[in-house]
Amino acid sequence: KKAGQTVSAGEVLIDSVKPDRNGAAVPGSADGEAWARVKKQYECRQPLRFSARIPTGRLARGWRLEAAGHIFAPSGAEQAAEGWLMREKKNAMTLFGFALPMTQVRTLAVEYAQTELTLGEEQAAQQARWSCRRLLYEEYPDAQILAESWTQERDGDAILCRWTVEFEANIARAEQ
């Protein structure tokens, strides 16, 4: 295809074929970019009342040493209960610049709880717009927005946003 031509969905843009030792054509893998200008519409609905897992503000910190398949934890070290999100950071242990055969593991646990949230119309519209943008960038991570327009309306107990966006992006995808 040449610049300015229209491309249909599913049309092969980049392909590779190489001959085997008998001269028969064997499909190969191709790598390349095909940048296109795309106009697309996204629609996102955000309820005014919804339930979400929100951090409560309670934190728990801990540490332990791991060496030779053994775990050395200080007395009183606890495991986080259900509803807590755990993050671990491992650091190699050194002494005077020499590596020791052990690792220090620091843990941070954050408590989350299911909470009922109520948004105002403007907050719900902002959340719906963010959701639409997230959809675009999930589908086209390198999209560069050229023009956009928004419409929003109340849909019962929710806000419905429609986003018409024109963008440029690499539309070449490896076959899965």
For β-strands 70-72 and 158-170, DSSP reports them as unpaired
Sign of the CA dihedral with 33 first, then 34, 39, and 42 last:
negative
Positive or negative, the CA dihedral 96, 97, 99, 104 is positive
**1 or 145: which leads in pLDDT:** 145
- The answer on pLDDT for 175 being more than 70 is no
Whole-angstrom Cα distance, residue 143 to residue 140?
5
How does pLDDT run across 73-97, given as a tens digit for each residue? 875 556 667 778 889 999 999 999 8
Could you report the per-residue pLDDT of 132-146, keeping only the tens digit for each?
Answer: 999 999 999 999 999
Q: Note the maximum CA span of the chain.
A: 71
- Are 136 and 42 contacting, i.e. CB atoms less than 8 angstroms apart? yes
Residue 171, amino acid: I
Please calculate the CA angle 47-52-57 and round it to the nearest 5 degrees. Answer: 140
The answer, yes or no, to whether residue 176 has pLDDT greater than 50, is: no
